[in-house]
Amino acid sequence: MTASEMFELMHGGPDAQGAVPHDFSTNGNACGPCPAALQALQAADASRYPDPHYLELRDRLAGFHGVEAHRVVIAASASEFIGRVTAAVSQGGGGRVRLPQHGYGDYARAAKAWHFQPATADGAADLVWCCDPGSPLGLPQEDLARRVDQLGPHATCVLDLAYEPLRLEGALALDATQRDRVWQLWTPNKALGLTGVRAAYAIAPVAAQDLGARLARLAPSWPLGIHGVALLEAWTGGAARQWLDDSLATLRAWKAAQRGACESLGWRLLPGDANFFCAEPDVALTPARSAALRQAGIKMRDTASFGLPGLVRLGVLPPASQEALRQAWRAARR
């Protein structure tokens, strides 16, 4: 793998040295894991295959979202769906893609793998990627409604809603009719504080039969194991929903305190609506400082791979982790 390919694959979370006690580099719900989801995982019978058609799971997800079950597409993860839908659009003759200005690197990686070309500013796109709230900034996509309203008759728009359940301010700026025109990609593991369980699903637009058929042909057998099924089933339950609602209030308080801690270090903070935000430290996050922070049990996400050099992205963590960051940074900046 080349250095540039390694750069494209940068993620937060554990590295070759393992996990750290205070991991600001990922965006999972720091109040987790959700007890109801964790209990479902522990009770799952891993001695058996899940239903290969996921009929009961699809019915539950459809009821949860108020859509027909045939519109629910099960995916192994968001990244798996990103690759599969890009391949399906390509097989249908698509070759032009429109990406967010800053966004998850797998959108561009999949487009590159299937030889998509960027759509011109005023040109039509065959595949349009949106994310709201977006990463790494945690901001709503300002032109989201316009992009959806201006979709061409053959365009495929995928709206990544990974952080919608963790939105701490504002609301999604699409009405029901607009949502029915896009693919809605959901990955509840972040919201439930269980990012190690890979499971996702998408809700198809009302009129997407041809692309849906191609996605079905491209799908692996059993994209979800029994633990992924358990996670998504728990996601639809009342206990998980109540826990998530309660956790958002905690995250709002933690976020306000964490922004205050960063400001006390002289950092410049950017606005954001989700359970993470970006900041410009008072001095550069050099490799030596990153190593010193890592030694102190701290990780942050450098946003250069998102096209934002000089910034870091910080997931919201509890007060003890915030104090550890403050102390470690003061030591590392000397």
Q: In which band, very low, low, confident or very high, does the pLDDT at 59 lie, cut at 50, 70 and 90?
A: very high
Burial class (CB in 10 A: 0-12, 13-18, 19+), 6: exposed
208 touches 216 (CB < 8 A) = no
Buried b (16+ CB within 10 A) or exposed e, 79-99: bbbbbbbbbbbbeeebebbbb
Asked whether the beta carbons of 211 and 185 are under 8 A apart, the reply is: no
| Between residues 3 and 99, the one the model is more confident about | 99
Query: How far is the C-alpha of 299 from the C-alpha of 331, rounded, in Å?
Result: 15
| Secondary structure string (H, E, C) spanning 137-161 | CCCCCCCHHHHHHCCCCCCEEEEEC
Here the tokens at position 325 are 């960051």
pLDDT score, position 219: 95
Lowest mean pLDDT, pick from 59-73, 137-151, 167-181, 192-206: 137-151
Report yes or no: 274 and 264 within 8 Å, Cβ to Cβ: no
- Say yes or no to pLDDT of 299 above 70: yes
Q: Which region among 120-134, 193-207, 277-291 has the lowest average model confidence (pLDDT)?
A: 120-134
Report whether pLDDT(7) > 80. no
Closest CA to 208 of 73, 114, 37, 26: 73
- pLDDT band at residue 4 under the 50/70/90 scheme: very low
201, β-bridge pairs: 74, 186
| 55: β partners | none
CATH T-level fold of 3-32+240-332: Aspartate Aminotransferase, domain 1 (3.90.1150)
pLDDT the model gives residue 215: 96
pLDDT in tens, 140-150: 988 899 889 98
User: pLDDT tens-digit profile of 245-257?
Assistant: 999 999 999 999 9
How much of the chain, in percent, has pLDDT values that exceed 90? Answer: 87
State residue 12's pLDDT score: 66
Q: Can you give the pLDDT at residue 6?
A: 37
pLDDT value at position 19? 86
Locate the domains of the chain by residue range: 3-32+240-332, 35-237
Whether the CB-CB separation of 28 and 314 falls below 8 Å is answered with no
pLDDT in tens, 261-273: 999 999 999 999 9
DSSP 65-110: HTS-GGGEEEES-HHHHHHHHHHHHHHTT--EEE--SS--HHHHHH
How distant, in Å, are the alpha carbons of 54, 83, 201, 225 from that of 232?
11, 21, 9, 11
CATH tag for 35-237 (out of 3.40.50.300, 3.30.750.24, 3.40.640.10, 3.30.428.10): 3.40.640.10
For residue 313, CA distances in Å to 12, 99, 159, 300 come to: 10, 20, 22, 6
